[in-house]
Amino acid sequence: KLTSVEEFEAATARLLETGAKVGADSWQMRVKNQTPHCKFGEQGICCRICAMGPCRITPKAPRGICGCDVHGIVGRNYLKFTAGGAATHSDHGREICHTLHCAEEGGNYQVKDPAKLLKLAKEFGVETEGRDIYDVAHEVAEAGLMEYGKPFGFQKFLDRMPESQKELLIKNELAPRAIDREVASSMHMTHMGCSSKPEALIKQSIRCGMGDGWGGSMMGTEFSDVLFGTPKPIDTEANLGVMNADNVNIVVHGHDPSLSEMICEYADDPEMIAYAKEMGAKGITVSGVCCTSNEVAMRRGVPMAGNFLQQENVVLTGACEAIVVDVQCIFPALGPLSKCFHTKFITTSPIAQMPDSDFIRFSPENAGENAKAIVKMAIENFKNRKPELVHIPDMKQKATVGYSLEAIVKTLDGVTNSQVDVTGTTKPLLECVTSGVLRGAVAMVGCNNPKVRPDTAHIELMKKLIANDIIIVASGCSAQAAARAGLMDKRAKDLCGAGLKRVCELADIPPVLHMGSCVDISRMMNLVAELAKDSGLKISQLPVVGCAPEWMSEKAVSIGNYVVGTGIDTFLGVEPYVSGSTEVEQLLTDGVREWTGAAYTVEKDIDKLGDAMIQRIEEKRAAIGI
């Protein structure tokens, strides 16, 4: 039985009662204070990039002081938003490259997937014959780091794309060059007195996003796999009920697995468990929030406490000894909130420093030592719990996660009766699609946003799609919404149409496949690239679409741009800040198709959004005659 959104909400209401008792603030209250939002901001028509402004466009004032019109302002704001997201994902990827560069035999970080390292070495042209694996690792890491600032050429991983899409991108000047260059060029273009032509600004938005998806994010994923292992199917659990009132609860939150992996490692250490017992607990439970949760769930089966809008709930249980964070999507609210409880709010990255937190600076060199200190701090904090405030909602669902591209290919190997040698390729999946057993696939990604009743859009859309024999790959907070509802339990096959149900039974998979964190959307890009190559079709011809129904972050816009840039139609349930410009809206929802083969659809009505995706998938099938 699925957990309904009403049940989620009842559990949250109960936790907010605890919050009220201790005088805690909550996002639910802050949303009320911020509503209605500024109309100028919402439409993207406020410009404050120079000190002659800020300028706001109205019917009476159709141009800023410099003469920029509304289309230029909206386009510039959109490009800056994208650059913020691309920089963020890519800097995460860069950190992982540095971690790999520090990996050594017997050190804090080691190579766990040498086969993947060798594959990457080949791609980057790094010699492997007769060399020590760590020498290779360091050279590959350096080659990866060079992608950020290389003076000539395009991103290396573009070679993974089918020729048709790559050529289209090069022809339209959308192929990403050095990652940092795309971000810097975007900031240059949006400076006062540079670009104000919507076409140029939207083109650069796509190219900058492509530098993320086929550059920084893809390196983040690949190098994380080398360091921590490529995910394989593994069982876990999801929702707040994974926290354990008898145990020391450590919650990892953020994005970079270099931190969370180490915390998990030390929380598993018998010496630490013994210490926890000495302090009166029965053991240690690590659970996760946001993408770092996805990382450790995919590789270790660490349970997922919740997604983005659940982060305050974790503290409100009164049973969280420490919430340990690295970067991105962390509410500054956690500082003051943790002060209402005994919870230690531990920040670890110079990139994300926050008031009311304990800052323990984490680096590859001190990772072991500091992870141990953090776990100890949490254990020693157990005695400070206020028992009268402890309430963990008794809700959790089983989930099978860990569907990397490699795992999907392997799992689906057995689903067809085909005589040809198709193992190790995406051909079995293609056969399911071509025969109509599966109608297509949807990549469900992205955040929560209070503008949408949290998780409903993710869950309702997934239910609708699987009932229509559309298989889902999910990542980020969307994947966690699915897991918490029960859609990653293999028994969810009973909610599917006959075709998808059959595939789930034959391959022993749930109908919603967890592909990882948001940087792991790069796994989805590799999957569609393989599907296109194995079928001889263009990516834009495949019956595949992307969807972010509750997105909120700059990263999500960068992702949207690279998904569209890859040739995949993308459906949004929350409007980007572009409604002030008909020209920018027209480009995003239609004009870009000429440059990339795909475009955006924005629809706030969830039901209509689902219908639109199904219709698009059926149109694509009809167009290729299947």
Binding site for ligand SF4 (CB under 6 A): 47-50, 52-55, 64-66, 68, 73, 192
Residue 591, contacted partner among ligand SF4, ligand BF8, none, CB below 5-8 A by kind: none
Task: Name the minimum Å distance from CB 69 to ligand BF8.
Answer: 31
Q: Which does 55 bind (CB under 5 to 8 A by kind): ligand BF8, ligand SF4, none?
A: ligand SF4
In this structure, what token pair is assigned to residue 103?
Answer: 């990996």
Site for ligand BF8 in 490-519 (CB under 6 A): 517-518
Q: Which of residues 443-472 bind ligand BF8 (CB under 6 A)?
A: 446-447
317 touches which of ligand SF4, ligand BF8, none (CB within 5 to 8 A by kind)? none
Q: What are the beta bridge partners of residue 250?
A: 286, 322
Question: In the complex, what is the shortest distance from the CB of residue 183 to ligand SF4, in angstroms, rounded to a whole number?
Answer: 20
Question: Is 75 in contact with 68 (CB distance < 8 Å)?
Answer: no
The per-residue b/e assignment along 29-67, b for 16 or more CB within 10 angstroms, e otherwise, is eeeeeeeeeeebeebbbbbebeeebebbbeeeeeebeee
Q: Does 545 bind ligand BF8 (CB under 6 A)?
A: no
SS3 358: strand
Q: How far is CA 360 from the centre of its chain?
A: 25
Residue 47 Cβ, how far from ligand SF4 at the closest point, in Å?
A: 3
Least Å from the CB of residue 341 to ligand BF8:
23
251-310 positions binding ligand BF8, by CB under 6 A: 255, 290-291, 308
For residues 50 and 200, which CB has a smaller minimum distance to ligand SF4 in the complex?
50
Q: How far apart, in whole angstroms, are the C-alpha atoms of residue 71 and residue 115?
A: 49
> Which range in 113-121, 400-408, 450-458, 550-558 contacts ligand BF8 by CB under 6 A?
550-558
65's contact among ligand SF4, ligand BF8, none, with CB below 5 to 8 A by partner kind, is ligand SF4
Q: Which does 556 bind (CB under 5 to 8 A by kind): ligand BF8, ligand SF4, none?
A: ligand BF8
Q: Which is nearer to ligand BF8, 219 or 518 (CB)?
A: 518
Contact 231, 299 (CB under 8 A): yes
Helix axes 114-123, 133-146, angle to 10 degrees: 50
DSSP E strands in 480-622: the ranges are 512-516, 544-548, 570-572, 600-602
Burial (0-12, 13-18, 19+ Cβ within 10 Å), 9: middle
With 0-12 / 13-18 / 19 or more C-beta atoms within 10 angstroms meaning exposed / middle / buried, residue 374 is buried
Site for ligand BF8 in 306-335 (CB under 6 A): 308, 329
Query: Rounded distance, CA 483 to CA 399, Å?
Result: 6
Q: Say if strands 55-56 and 234-238 run parallel, antiparallel, or are unpaired.
A: unpaired
**Between 323 and 578, whose beta carbon lies closer to ligand SF4?**
578
Q: How far apart are CA 474 and CA 611, in angstroms?
A: 19
Short-list 331, 292, 307, CA closest to 447: 307
| Per CB under 6 A, 556 contacts ligand BF8 | yes
What does 553 bind: ligand BF8, ligand SF4, none (CB cut-off 5 to 8 Å by kind)? ligand BF8
From ligand SF4, ligand BF8, none, interface partner of 49 (C-beta below 5 to 8 A by class): ligand SF4
The nearer residue to ligand SF4, 50 or 187, going by C-beta atoms, is 50
Binding site for ligand BF8 (CB under 6 A): 255, 290-291, 308, 329, 446-447, 476-477, 517-518, 553, 555-556
